[in-house]
Structure 1
């Protein structure tokens, strides 16, 4: 009797296993595949791939960099936002990541060997903004950024007062400007500002970011100088696209109005009218530019 009950229980378990295997392992995947082939869903299900001359050139869901072999921006293309995914120019879908740097990352690690140096988030933002400003012909200066494209940060050494400040400094160092650089500020509280000696530790001083006289709102938008959470965002803001229009028009010998028309055609509004922000798909826009207004080789 016991053996019979044991057999019946295991046969019932085996039947349940077979039924669930058929449902979840065969029926459900086939049903999802069939639904995905319906008109309007097929492209998305296959990865939203984009083709040019019969060849797959990318996906509308994953950004790309438009630079030369040395990492310099190609003048005839709209530039994507920075990416920290993978080596080189980023945008590696097998290595999606973010920098994990926050607003308190303002002091660089200086080193004689560039491979051992480490830029703070502030310096990365300052450097990118300066480069983009020079490339696009706009003011790339930002608050708390030195003219040289590094974070404007001082280490103020001296006795602390009751509030933790340093009223009478004995030494002031621009911690992100390695010697023999000329510091962005001549003096601070009557003390000459010095450049930073590589290998020296200035953490004992009071770390003071200096705002400078840059405008509060930079023509270079934030998405142009910081990475997205995934590092794969294929979009830029309409504001970043707008400051690139003149360069694109000149490189392709077309009018700025023609470029703006294409930008508008590839600009998506907020989802459902209120979710997210307006955005421009860079890869789709550049492909359309190549198709309509090929750049002279």
Structure 2
């Protein structure tokens, strides 16, 4: 290949680079930006910011924490669902907890998904005056899981237990059940490995938890700004008492800020927590006037 051919090829490549840079690196972004400034789209392109008196208070698309300096939930505000994004609703650390349905046994440095759900359910129940009990949870708010040790059949099922340990209840805690198939249940010794046993979650008596699922599980992004109407209604009495207003007025606000399914059939009804809390603050200002 002579020098002239090499020069032509490199010149053609350079022209293609310059043309594509202008089209895709400049023209396309500018076109998208101009399109985003059209009425009806500008608010979403700017981040769907919610402000009061010209001061941005958050985005209707991203949840936020309503806690005091110690991380304790403020009783006068509706609480959102848990978040696994950084320290909570951090857009720069959006993520899920990466724990699946088989995460039922606590590790020394990290609780299982089941124990997280049980703990959150107990906390929400205590905060909002309902039972925090739910299936596969102990009364103390950890996963109700046993390691059953003994001979097994061909399918791996223990046929005659010789030892049973409540793996998520460290000694000296009292196991949530006294016996299992006639064998006394032991508490778990710190640092001991009970993987040799068959892991058996125990359902318990609770079949219809009072605490909704979205109150105890994080969303996939960790940024979900919505809660279910059921979780919002659960919080009405607490918020009303903290603000000194009637539950009926707070319940009416929840209804006003409940959105139906998208297009009538996509997703579930939902309540935007930021907008609801701002409406509550507005109601309180009106009452003080």
Tell me the distance in 1 between the aligned counterparts of 2:5 and 2:205.
Answer: 86
Distance 1:11 1:261, change over 3 A: same
Alpha-carbon deviation of 1:236? 0.7
Q: CA RMSD in A?
A: 2.1
Among 122, 132, 135, which residue is 1:130 paired with? 122
Distance 1:160 1:41, change over 3 A: same
Distance 1:14 1:247, change over 3 A: same
Partner of 1:268: 259
Alpha-carbon deviation of 1:19? 3.7
| Post-superposition CA distance 1:198-247 (Å, at most 9, x none) | 01111111211111111x22121111111100111111111111101111
Partner of 2:225: 234
Partner of 2:102: 104
Distance 1:172 1:4, change over 3 A: closer
Distance 1:14 1:217, change over 3 A: same
Distance 1:19 1:199, change over 3 A: closer
**More displaced 10-residue stretch of structure 1: 67-76 or 146-155:** 67-76
Are 1:91 and 2:89 an aligned pair?
yes
Partner of 2:211: 220
Tell me the distance in 1 between the aligned counterparts of 2:20 and 2:98.
Answer: 42
| Post-superposition CA distance 1:73-113 (Å, at most 9, x none) | 110000010011113xx111101111111111111124xxx
Partner of 1:245: 236
Are 1:121 and 2:113 an aligned pair?
yes
| Post-superposition CA distance 1:161-180 (Å, at most 9, x none) | 44433333222111000011
Tell me the distance in 1 between the aligned counterparts of 2:116 and 2:77.
Answer: 22
Among 157, 163, 184, which residue is 1:171 paired with? 163
Partner of 2:277: 286
Are 1:190 and 2:182 an aligned pair?
yes
Give the total of aligned pairs: 286
Distance 1:187 1:35, change over 3 A: same
Alpha-carbon deviation of 1:40? 1.4
Alpha-carbon deviation of 1:159? 2.1
SS in 2 for 1:20: helix
SS in 2 for 1:57: strand
Alignment of 1:148-163 (within 5 A): 148-163=140-155
Distance 1:283 1:6, change over 3 A: same
Structure 1 residue ranges without an equivalent (≥5): 111-116
Structure 2 residue ranges without an equivalent (≥5): none
Distance 1:3 1:147, change over 3 A: closer
Partner of 1:35: 35
SS in 1 for 2:91: coil
SS in 2 for 1:244: helix
Tell me the distance in 2 between the aligned counterparts of 1:7 and 1:155.
Answer: 73
Distance 1:195 1:3, change over 3 A: closer
Tell me the distance in 2 between the aligned counterparts of 1:7 and 1:154.
Answer: 74
Alpha-carbon deviation of 1:145? 0.6
Are 1:55 and 2:47 an aligned pair?
no
Are 1:66 and 2:58 an aligned pair?
no
Distance 1:18 1:244, change over 3 A: same
